[in-house]
């Protein structure tokens, strides 16, 4: 059984759901957050939009060391900005996965902050973890949207806002 075609299919299906969610983010709510310990909408949604690029990162590197990186989230002021970030990230991830060979999924990949190692996964596991992170943070976004009284699009079937019966 070939794993890469299955991952590509899942990535495509999750991307369609993510697009629907990101399209719902109101342009005037990027500074909003539901709780003092929550991320602001812009931080959460940019993270969601950038997650597909982790597929490329996993396949083209052996680790991510937060101590060595200089990350600044891309500023956004509209859902159009957000979708542009997502489409670029998705394209990068999908292209890297499409070009990969099955054996490219087997090497280990490490997430760390200097000497502190958070996780060591195979590259396959990093890709699956990035999909799970997308789903997790998309669910958080659903809570944000619900609290703002914005209808939630369906993910794996119709949402309560979309049901017509």
As annotated, the binding site includes 47, 137
Instruction: List, as own/partner pairs, every contact residues 123-130 make where C-beta atoms lie below 8 angstroms and the sequence separation is at least 24, other chains included.
Output: 123/58, 123/59, 124/3, 124/7, 126/54, 126/58, 127/7, 127/54, 127/55, 127/58, 127/59, 127/97, 128/7, 130/51, 130/52, 130/54, 130/55, 130/58, 130/93
Q: What is the DSSP string of 30-88?
A: TT--SSTTSPPHHHHHHHHHHTTHHHHHHHH-SEEEGGG----PPP-SSHHHHHHHHHH
Annotated binding site for a divalent metal cation: 47, 137
């Amino acid at each position: 059984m070939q794993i890469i075609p299955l991952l590509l299919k899942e990535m495509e299906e999750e991307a369609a759901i993510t697009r629907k969610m990101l399209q719902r983010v109101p342009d005037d709510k990027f500074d909003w957050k539901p709780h003092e310990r929550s991320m602001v909408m812009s931080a959460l949604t940019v993270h969601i939009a950038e997650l597909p690029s982790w597929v490329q990162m996993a396949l083209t590197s052996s680790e991510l060391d937060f101590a060595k990186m200089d990350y600044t989230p891309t500023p956004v002021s509209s859902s159009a900005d957000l979708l542009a970030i997502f489409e670029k990230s998705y394209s990068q991830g999908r292209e890297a996965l499409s070009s990969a060979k099955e054996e490219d999924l087997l090497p280990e990949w490490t997430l760390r902050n200097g000497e502190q190692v958070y996780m060591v996964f195979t590259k396959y596991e990093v890709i699956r973890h990035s999909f799970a992170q997308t789903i997790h943070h998309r669910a958080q976004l659903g809570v944000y949207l619900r609290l703002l009284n914005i209808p939630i699009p369906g993910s794996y079937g119709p949402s309560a806002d979309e049901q017509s019966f």
